[in-house]
Structure 1
Amino acid sequence: MILNDLKRINAKLLIQENEPLAHYTYTKTGGNADYFIRPKTSEEAAQVVKYCHDNHVPLTVLGNGSNLIIKDGGIRGVVLHLDLLDHIKRENTTIIAGSGAKLIQVSKAALDFQLSGLEFACGIPGSVGGALYMNAGAYGGEISDVLEEATVLTMSGELLQLNRKQLKAQYRHSTIAEKNYIVLEGKFALTLKEHVIIEAKMAELTEARESKQPLEYPSCGSVFKRPPGFFAGKLIQDSKLQGESIGGAQVSMKHAGFIVNTGDATATDYLRLIQHVQQIVFDKFGVLLETEVKIIGEDAKERTKNFDK
């Protein structure tokens, strides 16, 4: 029913049934999506969102899948993957980038345009949409520092323009997450600077990242938020949890704040190891580590039938 309905609305929609979501996450884990849709334009995205709202179809939006764990039972209803909304263009000293554009590519475009402000993002593997959703940051910079405006869809399909003040960005949080808005585009206000200076800063940050982070294995990035007054990685390290494994998921030996897939991990392995780390750190230091990684979907043992079957 959903497939036929959507094809009637727009015959050009790219729709796949029972698509394995492990193909789209950095952990290389996760179950299937009932319906997986890749809109080619903002208009197509709005059509799908409005259909799902009007027909009470569950809708999940997927970005680059870098700071995400999708459970082994997969996701019911429609998964909207925005990777094709990946345009990047310059307007004077601003860059406008689509939700699906990779943040690393946007930072490289800024370098080409000799625009400074996105150097901190040169190693963040997420998409523009995901970065705005969680106010991503690294090495002392955050997306909210340079974000001028965001174009979003509400879950009913209404188009909105949000300025910096309306985004109410905080550490790993924003109005976009609070209201469950769907990012279509971000506009970044940058400053002119010499190419060589921007490039040197990006090279410095890239070296720092490559020397500290376990990039040789699939992972979901930084698993835990920074607790007030502490560093999550240090707490995990001091709890002697580095190298601890459940199934194919392992607390990285290179950076304790990362959990890597050593080859055959499942999402369930990841979740069990996250809970184990939280318990041990709490028992030892009295600090409850909150997850930064987003966890969605159904457990395999609770897997329900496809939404409209």
Structure 2
Amino acid sequence: MNMKEILMVFKDLQQMVPKTEIAMSEPLSKHTFIKTGGNGDVFIKPFDVLDLQKIVKYAFSHDIPLTVLGKGTNVIIRDEGIRGIVVSLDQLTKVSVTGEIITVGSGANIIDVSRIALQHQLSGLEFACGIPGTVGGALIMNAGAYGGEISEVLTSATVLTQSGELRTFKVGEFQFGYRSSIFANENLIILEAVFSLKTADPTIIKAKMDENTFLRESKQPLEYPSCGSVFKRPPGHFAGKLIQDSGLQGTRIGGAEVSTKHAGFIVNVDNATSTDYIQLIQHVQKTVKEKFGVDLETEVKIIGDDS
């Protein structure tokens, strides 16, 4: 959009959802873990689900591109930024616990939800205690770690379609696979998730969470900004091992570097740009393909204007 169009959308949304925080030409590097990315034309944080539904319907009816961000943990936004409306869901964080059921807004941190489960002596989310993303992002990716994944505990999810229609999905409809789901396949906007857990001894729950936290802190390069595991696990292989055996650890393009601590991570060591990241990803893919004949598919999502 040009500046005149951006201003028009900005004013329309101000009138439509007056309680909502809205900005023009927002630096999206402020909203990603790797601290890179260009500007979003119109950036907005809906106050509640009703406001979000209004925004989605407005974008659909005016044929304006709409992009939804969580915490920006598993995403690279190109340096050219994102055209149209960018929506952050970090206001949708309500959590409620009833017996063994946790109902939570999509913008809540999945780590926080795992800790709430511990407080209520509920087991099933221990694997998520180190996943630095939102509930919505975890559903989209069928996030998993240390032997557990979202598909094992999710019982229902409320979403918006791209046209603003409200829908609820239940067990059997999620189409979960390895790092995939119906939410990703149909580009759905997750509003709320319902997890079914099991009552257990809190000392055992905490011990498992402590173990997972130790493993994460000892193996992952948490001292630098990163977007988590860059590549999916290729069938019959481990991405990190292939990258390590290709001699790529420490390889740097601009300020982005293949981690010397864990080869499956690319870290921002010196004011990297998204272009640095993307070029390094492509270099890693090309090298691994040449050495081992294996195609590495990205787990991280690369989005934004590539014109």
Interval containing the TM-score (normalised by the shorter chain): over 0.9
Amino acid at match of 1:180: N
Q: Distance in 2 between matches of 1:269 and 1:10?
A: 37
- Give deviations 1:159-189, integer Å, cap 9, x for gaps: 1110021111111000001110000011000
> 2:103 is aligned with what amino acid?
I
Residue pairs, 1:134-213, within 5 angstroms: 134-213=141-220
Whole-Å separation in 2 of the counterparts to 1:26 and 1:7: 28
Select which of 296, 302, 306 maps to 1:295: 302
SS in 1 for 2:173: helix
Is it true that 1:52 corresponds to 2:64 in the alignment?
Answer: no
Deviation at 1:209, TM superposition (A): 0.5
Q: Post-superposition shift, 1:8?
A: 2.5
RMSD (Å), alpha carbons: 0.7
SS where residue 250 of structure 1 aligns? strand
What amino acid is the match of 1:163? K
Whether contact under 8 Å (2:48, 2:92) holds in the other structure is yes
In structure 2, the partner of 1:219 is 226
Normalising by structure 2, report the TM-score. 0.97
Structure 2: how far apart are the matches of 1:258 and 1:11? Answer: 41
The match for 2:123 is 116
Determine the structure 2 residue equivalent to 1:43.
50
What is the TM-score with the length of structure 1 in the denominator? 0.96
Could you tell me how far apart the structure 2 residues matched to 1:181 and 1:225 are? 22
Equivalent-residue separation in structure 2 for 1:130 and 1:190 (angstroms): 19
Structure 1 residues 259-298: aligned runs within 5 Å: 259-298=266-305
1:64 corresponds to which residue?
71
Q: What are the superposed Cα offsets for residues 214-247 of structure 1, whole Å, 9 maximum, x if unpaired?
A: 0000000000000000000000000010000000
Tell me the amino acid that sits aligned with residue 113 of structure 1.
H
3-state SS, counterpart of residue 167 of structure 1 = coil
Secondary structure, in 3 states, of the residue corresponding to 1:187? strand
Give yes or no for the alignment of 1:24 onto 2:31: yes
Instruction: Count residues in correspondence.
Output: 300
Conserved? CA contact 2:19–2:47, under 8 Å: no
- State the identity as a percent: 60
Q: CA separation in 1, counterparts of 2:71 and 2:127?
A: 18
Mapped partners of 2:231, 2:245: distance in 1: 15
CA distance in 2, matches of 1:269, 1:156: 35
* Superimposed CA distance per residue, residues 115-152 of structure 1 (whole angstroms, 9 cap, x where no aligned partner): 00000000000100111111111111111110010010
Letter in 1 for 2:33: Y
Structure 1 unaligned spans of 5+: 303-309
Matching residue's letter, 1:97:
V
Q: Which residue of 2 aligns with 1:76?
A: 83
Structure 1 residue 106 and structure 2 residue 107: aligned?
no
Cα displacement (A) at 1:5: 1.6
Counterpart code for 1:74: G
Distance 1:264 1:13 in 2: 31
Alignment counterpart, residue 98 of structure 2, candidates 87, 91, 96 = 91
Is 2:44–2:85's contact at 8 Å kept on the other side of the alignment?
yes
**Which residues of 2 match residues 124-139 of structure 1 at below 5 A?**
124-139=131-146
SS in 1 for 2:14: helix
Deviation at 1:263, TM superposition (A): 2.4
Distance in 1, Cα, partners of 2:126 & 2:20? 36
Q: Which residue of 2 aligns with 1:306?
A: none
How many Å separate the matches in 2 of 1:147 and 1:188? 5
Q: Which one scores higher on RCO, CA 8 angstroms, separation ≥ 6?
A: 1
Deviation at 1:278, TM superposition (A): 0.2
